[in-house]
Structure 1
Amino acid sequence: MTDAPATTPIAAIEGSPLALAMRHELWLYPAVEIVHIAGFVVLVGSIAMFDLRLLGLSRALPVRLMARHLLPWTGGALLVIVPTGLLMFIAHASDFLVNRAFQLKLALILIAGVNAALFHAGVFRTVAQWDTAVAPPLAARIHAGVSLASWLGVIACGRLLAYL
């Protein structure tokens, strides 16, 4: 990306003062990336613990208790990773938009988000029936599997961004 005057919306984004700073300030992009990765660790860590519980691990821990404890961490992590991800995106928007790993990463994030929404709007409403001691229903386990697979894919795509 050059710092030429903007002729398209993407060029305007990449030419913004914030995008220019992300590209030209020596430590800004790496610092933002470190914060993004740290937030992502919290996000995926909290989601993975919840999903593993749904898959049958630690049945002595009530699902509702885990949700009450872990969901705030997930939400807080999103408040970190969304703005930091956008900052990294604006620095190289035209490159990211044509990068297959980035496209797949966004698709997997969408799948993970829709999956979570469907879980909470659906089978989680019956959690009182399977909160402890019994195996979560098949639908809950499927949601957990889709979630874990989606987030592992997001991690892989995030790493591949630097190489593709």
Structure 2
Amino acid sequence: MAGALAQAAEWLAATPLAVAMRDGVWLYPAVETVHIVGFAILVGAVAMFDLRVLGCARRLPVDALGAHLLPWAAGSLLLIVPAGLLLFASGPAEFLGNPTFGVKLALIALAGVNALAFHAGVYRGVGAWNVGTPAPLGARAHALLSLLLWIGVIACGRLLAYT
């Protein structure tokens, strides 16, 4: 780890909240539960939308499903991000030194870029494939990539406990 990054990690690990996360019996598991619940909401909403784009439940309007699920996905970040930061604070040097953590962050970033590209691109023409019509190949490619990326994030999250 670079000098400044190592110093920042050391400082963060010494904060009272980080110490409480490590030393408390219930705080870490409680925060981890909040993180997982938020992640389940996020990935559940994304997976339902992606499966619709891939062709499941074609009678459901894609735009209506998106309008319903997007607020759930966005709202879940209110649970995921603060909880994730607290989990990270409990052992920043260990997380930063773990290659699986880097892969997890990279997959999250790629999933975000994929979602932005989908919404800025092919989703703008959803009216042509909203109900009863297969989504265009580009939309299906984004949906499949999204599912694969989020499965990768889940796998990395679980692997962090073992690596």
TM-score bin (small chain): over 0.9
Return the offset for 1:24: 1.1
> Structure 1 regions of 5+ residues with no counterpart?
1-6
Corresponding residue of 1:136: 135
Return the offset for 1:100: 1.5
User: TM-score, normalized by length of structure 2?
Assistant: 0.95
Corresponding residue of 2:156: 157
Tell me the secondary structure at the aligned position of residue 8 of structure 1: helix
> Structure 2 regions of 5+ residues with no counterpart?
1-5
Corresponding residue of 1:21: 20
Tell me the secondary structure at the aligned position of residue 57 of structure 2: coil
Report the count of equivalent residues.
Answer: 158
| Aligned mates of 2:56, 2:97 — CA distance in 1 | 40
Tell me the secondary structure at the aligned position of residue 143 of structure 1: helix
Return the offset for 1:160: 0.3
User: TM-score, normalized by length of structure 1?
Assistant: 0.94
Corresponding residue of 1:39: 38
Identity rate, percent: 57
Q: List structure 1 segments (4+ residues) > 6 angstroms apart after TM superposition.
A: none
Return the offset for 1:101: 1.2
- Deviation digits for residues 28-54 of structure 1 (CA, Å, limit 9, x no counterpart): 000000111111111100000000001
